[in-house]
Amino acid sequence: MSLSNRDIALIEEGLRLAIAAVMAAVQAHAFTADPALPIDWAQVRITTTPEQALAKARGQVTGNRE
Amino acid sequence: MKNTSYGVEQRPARQAHNLEVGGSSPFPVTILKNILFLCVLGVLCGALLGCTDFEHAAYKTLAVSQAEYELLQQRMAEAAVHELITEDQWNRFAAAGHTFIAAHNAAVEAFNVYGLGKTKQQLAQAQAAIEELPKLIREINDMVKTFQREPAQPSLENPTAEQIGI
Protein backbone atom coordinates (compact mmCIF):
# COMPACT_ATOMS: atom_id res chain seq x y z
CA MET A 1 0.00 0.00 0.00
CA SER A 2 1.49 3.33 -1.01
CA LEU A 3 0.93 6.62 0.76
CA SER A 4 -0.69 9.55 -1.01
CA ASN A 5 0.78 13.06 -0.92
CA ARG A 6 -1.90 13.96 1.59
CA ASP A 7 -0.95 11.05 3.87
CA ILE A 8 2.66 12.12 3.75
CA ALA A 9 1.71 15.73 4.49
CA LEU A 10 -0.34 14.59 7.48
CA ILE A 11 2.57 12.55 8.79
CA GLU A 12 4.93 15.50 8.30
CA GLU A 13 2.59 17.81 10.19
CA GLY A 14 2.11 15.28 12.94
CA LEU A 15 5.86 14.94 13.35
CA ARG A 16 6.31 18.71 13.29
CA LEU A 17 3.66 19.12 15.95
CA ALA A 18 5.07 16.34 18.10
CA ILE A 19 8.55 17.83 17.90
CA ALA A 20 7.23 21.28 18.84
CA ALA A 21 5.34 19.81 21.79
CA VAL A 22 8.31 17.79 23.02
CA MET A 23 10.68 20.73 22.67
CA ALA A 24 8.27 22.99 24.55
CA ALA A 25 7.86 20.42 27.32
CA VAL A 26 11.63 19.90 27.60
CA GLN A 27 12.25 23.63 27.68
CA ALA A 28 9.52 24.10 30.27
CA HIS A 29 11.06 21.31 32.37
CA ALA A 30 14.43 23.05 32.20
CA PHE A 31 12.87 26.33 33.31
CA THR A 32 11.18 24.67 36.28
CA ALA A 33 13.85 22.10 37.17
CA ASP A 34 15.08 23.98 40.21
CA PRO A 35 12.20 24.35 42.69
CA ALA A 36 14.15 27.01 44.55
CA LEU A 37 13.99 29.39 41.59
CA PRO A 38 10.82 31.34 40.85
CA ILE A 39 8.94 30.34 37.70
CA ASP A 40 9.34 32.80 34.86
CA TRP A 41 5.78 32.94 33.55
CA ALA A 42 6.68 35.54 30.92
CA GLN A 43 8.37 32.75 28.92
CA VAL A 44 5.04 31.05 28.17
CA ARG A 45 3.13 34.14 27.04
CA ILE A 46 2.01 34.21 23.42
CA THR A 47 3.48 37.43 22.05
CA THR A 48 2.95 37.01 18.30
CA THR A 49 -0.44 38.13 17.03
CA PRO A 50 -2.12 36.68 13.93
CA GLU A 51 -1.37 39.94 12.08
CA GLN A 52 2.32 39.68 12.93
CA ALA A 53 2.37 36.05 11.81
CA LEU A 54 0.71 37.02 8.53
CA ALA A 55 3.20 39.85 7.94
CA LYS A 56 6.07 37.46 8.62
CA ALA A 57 4.66 34.86 6.20
CA ARG A 58 4.24 37.56 3.55
CA GLY A 59 7.81 38.68 4.12
CA GLN A 60 9.05 35.13 3.65
CA VAL A 61 7.16 34.82 0.35
CA THR A 62 8.56 38.14 -0.85
CA GLY A 63 12.03 37.03 0.18
CA ASN A 64 11.68 33.76 -1.71
CA ARG A 65 10.60 35.59 -4.86
CA GLU A 66 13.53 38.01 -4.80
CA MET B 1 0.85 21.37 -17.50
CA LYS B 2 -1.09 18.34 -16.29
CA ASN B 3 -4.25 18.98 -14.34
CA THR B 4 -5.39 15.54 -13.38
CA SER B 5 -3.71 14.95 -10.03
CA TYR B 6 -5.45 17.28 -7.64
CA GLY B 7 -8.80 18.89 -6.85
CA VAL B 8 -9.68 21.55 -9.36
CA GLU B 9 -10.56 24.35 -7.01
CA GLN B 10 -7.47 24.21 -4.86
CA ARG B 11 -4.98 23.27 -7.54
CA PRO B 12 -3.58 26.71 -8.49
CA ALA B 13 -3.15 27.82 -4.91
CA ARG B 14 -1.61 24.47 -4.05
CA GLN B 15 0.82 24.79 -6.91
CA ALA B 16 1.72 28.30 -5.80
CA HIS B 17 2.31 27.00 -2.32
CA ASN B 18 4.49 24.15 -3.49
CA LEU B 19 6.47 26.31 -5.87
CA GLU B 20 7.07 29.17 -3.50
CA VAL B 21 7.54 27.33 -0.26
CA GLY B 22 9.10 24.25 -1.69
CA GLY B 23 7.37 22.07 0.87
CA SER B 24 5.38 18.94 0.23
CA SER B 25 2.28 19.89 2.22
CA PRO B 26 -0.45 20.27 -0.35
CA PHE B 27 -3.08 22.00 1.76
CA PRO B 28 -2.30 23.07 5.30
CA VAL B 29 -5.93 23.67 6.26
CA THR B 30 -6.69 20.00 5.64
CA ILE B 31 -4.33 18.98 8.39
CA LEU B 32 -5.18 21.77 10.81
CA LYS B 33 -8.01 19.83 12.38
CA ASN B 34 -5.51 17.15 13.31
CA ILE B 35 -3.15 19.72 14.75
CA LEU B 36 -5.93 21.21 16.81
CA PHE B 37 -7.08 17.82 18.01
CA LEU B 38 -3.54 17.15 19.17
CA CYS B 39 -3.46 20.58 20.81
CA VAL B 40 -6.38 19.49 22.97
CA LEU B 41 -4.57 16.28 23.81
CA GLY B 42 -1.40 18.21 24.57
CA VAL B 43 -3.17 20.51 26.97
CA LEU B 44 -4.97 17.64 28.67
CA CYS B 45 -1.84 15.46 28.90
CA GLY B 46 0.10 18.40 30.24
CA ALA B 47 -2.50 18.87 32.92
CA LEU B 48 -2.41 15.19 33.84
CA LEU B 49 1.37 14.78 33.93
CA GLY B 50 3.32 15.91 36.94
CA CYS B 51 0.25 16.43 39.09
CA THR B 52 2.42 16.51 42.21
CA ASP B 53 3.38 20.07 41.47
CA PHE B 54 0.44 22.08 40.26
CA GLU B 55 2.39 25.14 39.17
CA HIS B 56 5.04 23.19 37.30
CA ALA B 57 2.39 21.09 35.55
CA ALA B 58 0.54 24.26 34.60
CA TYR B 59 3.75 25.80 33.31
CA LYS B 60 4.41 22.78 31.09
CA THR B 61 0.82 22.78 29.88
CA LEU B 62 1.01 26.45 28.97
CA ALA B 63 4.40 25.98 27.29
CA VAL B 64 2.99 23.20 25.08
CA SER B 65 -0.17 25.21 24.43
CA GLN B 66 1.95 28.23 23.43
CA ALA B 67 4.20 26.21 21.10
CA GLU B 68 1.31 24.44 19.41
CA TYR B 69 -0.80 27.56 18.97
CA GLU B 70 2.12 29.46 17.48
CA LEU B 71 2.77 26.59 15.08
CA LEU B 72 -0.89 26.56 14.07
CA GLN B 73 -0.92 30.34 13.64
CA GLN B 74 2.17 30.15 11.44
CA ARG B 75 0.59 27.46 9.25
CA MET B 76 -2.65 29.44 8.93
CA ALA B 77 -0.70 32.57 7.99
CA GLU B 78 1.15 30.58 5.31
CA ALA B 79 -2.19 29.23 4.06
CA ALA B 80 -3.57 32.77 3.88
CA VAL B 81 -0.54 34.12 2.02
CA HIS B 82 -0.75 31.29 -0.51
CA GLU B 83 -4.51 31.82 -0.88
CA LEU B 84 -5.39 28.39 0.40
CA ILE B 85 -7.95 30.10 2.61
CA THR B 86 -10.03 33.19 1.86
CA GLU B 87 -9.55 36.58 3.47
CA ASP B 88 -12.79 36.06 5.36
CA GLN B 89 -11.59 32.70 6.69
CA TRP B 90 -8.31 34.28 7.75
CA ASN B 91 -10.19 37.09 9.50
CA ARG B 92 -12.31 34.55 11.37
CA PHE B 93 -9.21 32.64 12.39
CA ALA B 94 -7.48 35.87 13.46
CA ALA B 95 -10.47 36.83 15.62
CA ALA B 96 -10.51 33.39 17.26
CA GLY B 97 -6.73 33.58 17.60
CA HIS B 98 -6.94 36.86 19.47
CA THR B 99 -9.51 35.32 21.80
CA PHE B 100 -7.26 32.32 22.41
CA ILE B 101 -4.17 34.48 22.95
CA ALA B 102 -6.06 36.66 25.43
CA ALA B 103 -7.30 33.58 27.33
CA HIS B 104 -3.86 31.92 27.27
CA ASN B 105 -2.10 35.04 28.49
CA ALA B 106 -4.79 35.57 31.12
CA ALA B 107 -4.09 32.06 32.40
CA VAL B 108 -0.36 32.84 32.45
CA GLU B 109 -1.03 36.02 34.40
CA ALA B 110 -3.36 34.19 36.81
CA PHE B 111 -0.61 31.69 37.63
CA ASN B 112 1.89 34.50 37.97
CA VAL B 113 -0.39 36.18 40.51
CA TYR B 114 -1.03 32.86 42.29
CA GLY B 115 2.72 32.32 42.55
CA LEU B 116 3.09 35.60 44.38
CA GLY B 117 0.19 35.29 46.79
CA LYS B 118 -0.76 31.58 46.94
CA THR B 119 -4.26 32.27 48.17
CA LYS B 120 -7.18 29.92 47.58
CA GLN B 121 -8.99 32.55 45.56
CA GLN B 122 -5.97 33.07 43.30
CA LEU B 123 -5.66 29.31 42.87
CA ALA B 124 -9.33 29.05 41.88
CA GLN B 125 -8.89 31.88 39.38
CA ALA B 126 -5.81 30.23 37.88
CA GLN B 127 -7.61 26.89 37.59
CA ALA B 128 -10.61 28.53 35.96
CA ALA B 129 -8.38 30.38 33.51
CA ILE B 130 -6.50 27.28 32.37
CA GLU B 131 -9.69 25.21 32.11
CA GLU B 132 -10.97 27.75 29.58
CA LEU B 133 -8.27 26.87 27.04
CA PRO B 134 -9.49 23.44 25.80
CA LYS B 135 -12.92 24.95 25.09
CA LEU B 136 -11.38 27.70 22.99
CA ILE B 137 -9.23 25.20 21.13
CA ARG B 138 -12.35 23.17 20.40
CA GLU B 139 -14.03 26.27 19.00
CA ILE B 140 -11.08 27.01 16.71
CA ASN B 141 -11.10 23.35 15.67
CA ASP B 142 -14.78 23.53 14.73
CA MET B 143 -14.16 26.74 12.81
CA VAL B 144 -11.25 25.27 10.84
CA LYS B 145 -13.42 22.26 10.00
CA THR B 146 -15.85 24.62 8.30
CA PHE B 147 -12.97 26.02 6.21
CA GLN B 148 -12.59 22.61 4.61
CA ARG B 149 -16.21 22.71 3.50
CA GLU B 150 -15.80 26.25 2.15
CA PRO B 151 -13.25 26.05 -0.66
CA ALA B 152 -11.01 29.08 -1.01
CA GLN B 153 -12.03 31.47 -3.77
CA PRO B 154 -9.15 31.62 -6.20
CA SER B 155 -7.85 35.03 -7.19
CA LEU B 156 -7.35 36.23 -10.75
CA GLU B 157 -3.62 35.64 -10.35
CA ASN B 158 -4.34 31.96 -9.71
CA PRO B 159 -7.38 31.07 -11.82
CA THR B 160 -9.08 27.73 -11.48
CA ALA B 161 -9.01 25.16 -14.24
CA GLU B 162 -12.60 26.11 -15.03
CA GLN B 163 -11.69 29.76 -15.38
CA ILE B 164 -8.86 29.01 -17.76
CA GLY B 165 -11.12 26.70 -19.73
CA ILE B 166 -9.69 23.30 -18.90
Nearest in space to B39 (alpha carbons), one of A24, A37, A48, A55: A24
Whether residue B115 contacts residue A38, with contact meaning beta carbons closer than 8 Å, is answered with yes
CATH code, domain carrying B99: 1.20.120
**Which chain B residues are closer than 8 Å to A62 by Cβ?**
none
CB hemisphere CA count around B81 (13 angstroms) = 24
Sort B122 into a burial class: Cβ within 10 Å, 0-12 / 13-18 / 19+: middle
Question: Which DSSP symbol is given to B145?
Answer: H
Say yes or no for a CB contact (<8 Å) between A28 and B64. Answer: yes
Which stretches within chain B are classed as H helix? 11-21, 28-48, 54-81, 87-117, 120-149
Inside any domain, residue B2:
no
Counted residue by residue, chain A has a size of 66
Whether residue B3 is contained in a domain is answered as no
B158 found inside a domain: no
Say if B154 falls within a structural domain: no
Query: Do the interacting molecules here have an ipTM over 0.85?
Result: no
Q: Please report whether residue B72 resides in a domain.
A: yes
CB contact under 8 A, A21 and B67: yes
Confirm if B93 and B143 have CB atoms less than 8 A apart: yes
Given an 8 Å threshold on Cβ–Cβ distance, is B94 in contact with A51? yes
Domain segments of chain A as ranges: 5-65
Please tell me the distance from the alpha carbon of residue A52 to that of residue A47, in angstroms, as a whole number.
Answer: 9
Residues of A whose CB is below 8 A from B77: 50, 53-54, 56-57
Cα torsion B118, B109, A21, B149: sign: positive
Q: Count how many domains chain B has.
A: 1
| CB-based contact A27 B34, cutoff 8 Å | no
Residue range(s) defining the domain that contains residue B39 = 26-145
Instruction: Let me know if residue B5 belongs to a domain.
Output: no
Provide the shortest C-alpha distance from residue A20 to chain B (in Å): 6
CA distance B3 to B121: 62
Whether the full predicted model's pTM is greater than 0.90, yes or no, is no
Taking the CA of residue B163 and the nearest CA in chain A, the distance in Å comes to 25
Residue by residue, what is the 3-state secondary structure of B85-130?
Answer: CCHHHHHHHHHHHHHHHHHHHHHHHHHHHHHHHCCHHHHHHHHHHH
In a domain, B117, yes or no: yes
Per-residue pLDDT of chain B (166 residues; tens, 9 = 90+): 444 444 444 444 444 344 334 444 444 555 555 555 555 555 555 555 444 478 888 998 899 889 889 988 998 999 999 998 999 999 999 999 999 999 999 999 999 999 888 899 999 999 999 999 988 988 887 888 788 776 655 544 444 444 433 3
Q: Which residues of chain A make contact with B74, given a CB cutoff of 8 A? A: 53, 56-57
The minimum CA-CA distance between A39 and chain B, rounded to whole Å, is 8
Closest chain B C-alpha to A66 CA, distance in angstroms? 11
Indicate the DSSP class of residue A37: S
